[in-house]
Amino acid sequence: MTATTRTRLTPEQRREQLLELGLRLFAGTTIDEISIDRLSEEAGISRGLIYHYFGSKQGFREAVVQRAADDLIAQTEPPEGDDPIVKLLASLTAYVDYVIANYEGYRSLVRAAAGGNETVRAIYENARAAMIDRTFATPGVDALLADTPATRLVVRGWVAFVEDTVLAWCDAPDGVTRDELAKIVTDALPALVATLD
Amino acid sequence: MTATTRTRLTPEQRREQLLELGLRLFAGTTIDEISIDRLSEEAGISRGLIYHYFGSKQGFREAVVQRAADDLIAQTEPPEGDDPIVKLLASLTAYVDYVIANYEGYRSLVRAAAGGNETVRAIYENARAAMIDRTFATPGVDALLADTPATRLVVRGWVAFVEDTVLAWCDAPDGVTRDELAKIVTDALPALVATLD
């Protein structure tokens, strides 16, 4: 990247470029290890300008985490179609692939959210709530999921099941394939909901 | 408590008394808020003696967390009997009651374990592993659970489901009763395992 290219970026493009770079760093590291020095080096711009765009190191990290959550939601958007289980399987296969590709960062996000960073927890809880709401709003799912307190509780618990199972699988796949994993976490939802009948 | 009673305690009894007090404090607070001052006041002994028994504030907190994990395992011991689902229901009802009675401390344990305190995480992971191993070792369960990598993964994920569902229920029971909750988390295990067939 040359100085000429750099000066051509608008502030929005620059901010975008920094977030994209932050995301790449975040995929292989923990939130607290997202390095402003490395970012500044890779983007070829000064630390001061990074602070200008994001206010503080923490502000930058939170923007990266927010972007990661947005990406996760976008990448796991269920496809068009009629069969809710087929749609769920496609969405969860995308989720598994997302976790595989962004393992360190995703694990770090889940841990930071569970551990007590309030901002990260809010980002994470909002993303989780958006995915749960989307699940209930998917056409065809109403046949599968009555929107009752017990079902909401089970769907929420199912999300925890999916997260834990996929992260545990990344640590030790142990002969279970990616497709088998996606099927396990997909089939879990109707199986859990069916116990409420 | 009088000075006379205090001097009669053996070191083991004193250690035990401090742990019991720590547990009571822990039930309504987070790990990092277990207060040595309050403990010293309630036990009527000096801070110095507490450090003598546990080495440091952190040493005391870890001993309390270890004891909490031991108590959880003991209190959720499945009863004698033939029907694995009846045994599981009894064990999980005891678990729900444990979480209700020790909500703040338990949530804090789960968060600290997820968040990055390595010692707490090790205590928590060992307790979790002990409960999973006990589930597989329960007579009658072999009919329910083939010990395969996929089943281990599902049982591990089920534990996450149980934890998350019970903690979410404590935050907002929303009309779901304690018995309904215990049944939901119990029925979830065979339902999840059945999806592997």
Which positions ≥6 away from A121 have C-beta within 8 Å? A112, A113, A114
Look at residue B180 in the predicted model and tell me its pLDDT.
97
Look at residue B179 in the predicted model and tell me its pLDDT.
97
Rounded mean pLDDT of chain A?
A: 88
CA distance B169 to B60: 30
pLDDT tens, position by position, B140-165: 777 778 889 999 999 999 999 999 99
Which positions ≥6 away from B91 have C-beta within 8 Å? B76, B77, B78, B79
Q: Which residue of A has its CA nearest to B173?
A: A149
Look at residue A140 in the predicted model and tell me its pLDDT.
74
Look at residue A133 in the predicted model and tell me its pLDDT.
86
CA distance B161 to B155: 10
B92-112 core/surface letters (b: 16 or more CB in 10 A; e: else): bbbbbebbeebbbbbbbbbbb
Interface of B with A (CB under 8 A): 110-112, 114-116, 149-150, 152-154, 156-165, 168-169, 174-176, 180-181, 184-185, 187-188, 191-192, 194-196
Q: Which residues of A touch B115 (CB under 8 A)?
A: 111-112, 114-116
Sorting pLDDT into bands at 50, 70 and 90, what band is B4?
Answer: very low
Q: At what angle do helices A57-75 and A11-27 cross, to 10 degrees?
A: 80
Take residue A51 and report the two structure tokens written for it: 């602070």
The residue with tokens 């929420």 is A156
Look at residue A5 in the predicted model and tell me its pLDDT.
52
Cβ–Cβ below 8 Å for A153 and B176: yes
Interface ipTM above 0.90: no
Domain ranges for chain B, please list them.
Answer: 3-62, 76-194
A–B interface: beta-carbon pairs under 8 A? 106
Query: Can you say whether the dihedral through the CA atoms of B135, B136, B138, B139 is positive or negative?
Result: positive
Give, as one character, the DSSP assignment of residue A141.
G
CA distance A9 to A7: 6
Q: Which of A4-13, B15-24, B94-103 has the highest mean pLDDT?
A: B94-103
**B14 has pLDDT over 80:** yes
CA distance A127 to A68: 10
Look at residue B5 in the predicted model and tell me its pLDDT.
52
Q: At what angle do helices B118-137 and B149-171 cross, to 10 degrees?
A: 120
CA distance B55 to A105: 36
pLDDT tens, position by position, B29-60: 777 788 888 888 888 888 898 899 999 988 99
Cβ–Cβ below 8 Å for A192 and B194: no
CATH 1.10.1060 fits B3-62, yes or no: no
Check residues A160 and B4 and name the one with the higher pLDDT.
A160
CA distance B138 to B122: 24
- Of the candidates B161, B174, B194, the beta carbon closest to that of A158 is on B161
- For residues B168-187, average pLDDT: 96
Q: Considering only CA atoms, give the Rg of chain A.
A: 19
**Contact indicator for B84, B140 with CB cutoff of 8 Å:** yes
**B7 has pLDDT over 70:** no
Cβ–Cβ below 8 Å for B153 and A184: yes
Give the whole-number percent of chain B exceeding pLDDT 70.
95
- Percent of residues in chain A assigned helix, strand, coil, to nearest 5: 80, 0, 20
The residues of chain A scoring below 50 in pLDDT are 1-4
Torsion, Cα A85 A91 A94 A96, to 10 degrees, reads: -70
